[in-house]
A = this chain, B = another copy of it.
Amino acid sequence: MSEAVKTYLQQNRDKHLSELGDFLSIPSISALSEHKEDVRHAAEWMESSLKDAGVENVRLMETGGHPVVYGDWLHAAGKPTVLIYGHYDVQPVDPVELWETPPFEAHIRDEKIYARGASDDKGQTFMHVKAIEALLKVNGELPVNVKFLIEGEEEIGSVHLDSFVEEHRELLAADVLVISDTPMLEKGRPAICSGLRGLSSLQIDVKGAKGDLHSGLYGGGVQNSIHALVQILDSMRDSEGRVTVAGFYDKVEELNKDERAAMAELNFDEENLQKELEVPELFGEKGYSMIEQTWIRPTLEINGIYGGFQGEGVKTVIPSEAHAKITCRLVPTQDPDEIASLIEKHIAANTPKGVTVTTKRFDSGKPFAAPVDHPAFQIAAKAYEEVYSAPVAFTRMGGSIPVVETFDRILQVPIVLMGFGLPSENFHAPNEHFHLENFDKGLQTISTYLEKLGTQLNN
């Protein structure tokens, strides 16, 4: 990165942090309708921040819900185009009494900035705006073409983003998509997230007799819907944690030795996690480490179960109905619909006598694997390494980020998930914060990355 850009960032640090404080003071909680105006206010704040930075064509674009903020700068002829995605909405703040300082008042303590959205994702989105501002102010131009897409519904499942991206394919076309909304490995250890698990989910409904029966009169002679459900569910996983649905693992990508070795080198502290979660021991599929179990192995989890009497004491009833909700986390190259079909087939083959069983499907999402051999990833790694003087870990995440699946499917562009938050920064929880070390280094890494993309990536 040029010294001039570095100097600009240093000289304007206080001003930038003060601006970020303004941005963080807007309670843009997308999940709560009483904050609808605040969410819009945050969009307008971002709009004007982009304009001030020198971004062009900045505007709010309406969706069925909260608006998208768009802007671009497209004067780097012959250079690649970088689409930057972020979100200006935040999570609710309950329980608010656990916050040491008010969630919508930015406070800096111990070189960390505290507020809802400091890390997820206002702080990280803001850094991209300021990196662009620095490059434009210092050089009068950018090393690449840039487009911004900042949405306001990420925390409520990006409900309108699918159709927005679909409708604006042309406008959003790019050579690289950059998102800063995933964590680093830990302090000083940058990471690029190269894979996300997909999702398949369904509900199982078991029906026995027409109504609840008296367990004295009928007990022993009629199937119990909860027993039947329990039998079905228990048939899906063995006691070692391996899923026993036929065909479930057929399309699971087996990682090679090197990839597994790289994960082992991360030295993930399982003992510490066990203490933190307060479980007697960790538990997962045999033959895999915790990192592997949660990153590269698929799961079948029962998320909820209910049926019969749930009050105090006891009620001698044979319940007519029992229900369970199941989600599978999927890995490349499992297909959500195919997995749902396999589970439905398993249930049909394992339905006990005396009940009828139906299923219904819910959300699904394809697993995501980044093409990490694409130069966009290698260049990002170099930018990180230059600023942090530490190797970059290519990590995976056990969860899903629905927008990633959307972009991957519709825009078909390499997606670089380069985050600057730390796993310990309480995103979605009270006392969310962001380390200023990563605010400074993040600004440098982003600027460096854009510069390198301009010279090293062929568009």
Residues of chain B with a CB closer than 8 A to A324's CB:
226
Q: Which of A83-91, A135-143, A302-310 contacts B (4 or more CB under 8 A)?
A: A302-310
CB distance from A220 to the nearest CB of B (A): 4
Residues of chain B with a CB closer than 8 A to A229's CB:
305
CB distance from A282 to the nearest CB of B (A): 6
Complex: A285 Cα to B234 Cα, angstroms: 20
- A180 on the interface (CB 8 Å rule)? no
Given A218-B294, A354-B280, decide whether A310 and B304 contact each other with a Cβ distance below 8 A: yes
Q: Contact at B301–A216, with CB atoms within 8 Å?
A: no
- A395 on the interface (CB 8 Å rule)? no
- A203 on the interface (CB 8 Å rule)? yes
Residues of chain B with a CB closer than 8 A to A304's CB:
226, 307-310, 315, 317, 319
Identify A327's interface contact among B223, B290, B316, B355, CB under 8 A.
B316
Complex: A241 Cα to B218 Cα, angstroms: 13
Given A210-B277, A280-B354, A325-B308, decide whether A234 and B231 contact each other with a Cβ distance below 8 A: yes
Q: Contact at B305–A222, with CB atoms within 8 Å?
A: no
CB distance from A302 to the nearest CB of B (A): 4
- A265 on the interface (CB 8 Å rule)? no
Q: Contact at A319–B303, with CB atoms within 8 Å?
A: yes
Q: Mark A230-242, 1 if CB is under 8 A from B, else 0.
A: 1101100101010
- A197 on the interface (CB 8 Å rule)? yes
Q: Contact at B233–A230, with CB atoms within 8 Å?
A: yes
Closest to A212 in B: B303
Number of A interface residues, CB 8 Å?
78
Complex: A314 Cα to B223 Cα, angstroms: 27
- A375 on the interface (CB 8 Å rule)? no
Q: Contact at A329–B216, with CB atoms within 8 Å?
A: yes
Q: Contact at B222–A299, with CB atoms within 8 Å?
A: no
- A278 on the interface (CB 8 Å rule)? yes
Identify A294's interface contact among B221, B282, B303, B313, CB under 8 A.
B221
- Listed by A's residue number, 15 A-B pairs whose Cβ atoms lie within 8 Å are A201-B316, A215-B299, A215-B301, A216-B329, A219-B299, A219-B398, A220-B241, A224-B302, A227-B301, A281-B353, A303-B316, A304-B308, A305-B305, A313-B362, A316-B399
Given contacts A216-B398, A230-B302, 17 further A-B contacts (CB under 8 A): A197-B216, A201-B316, A215-B399, A217-B397, A221-B294, A223-B283, A224-B301, A226-B233, A227-B237, A227-B302, A239-B352, A303-B318, A304-B307, A305-B305, A305-B310, A314-B327, A314-B362
Listed from nearest, the 10 A-B pairs whose CB atoms lie closest are A216-B399, A283-B354, A304-B308, A304-B309, A234-B234, A223-B283, A210-B278, A220-B293, A226-B302, A314-B362
A residues near B (Cβ < 8 Å) are 197, 199, 201, 203, 208-210, 213-224, 226-227, 229-231, 233-234, 237, 239, 241, 277-285, 290, 293-294, 297-299, 301-310, 313-319, 322-325, 327, 329, 352-356, 362-363, 397-400
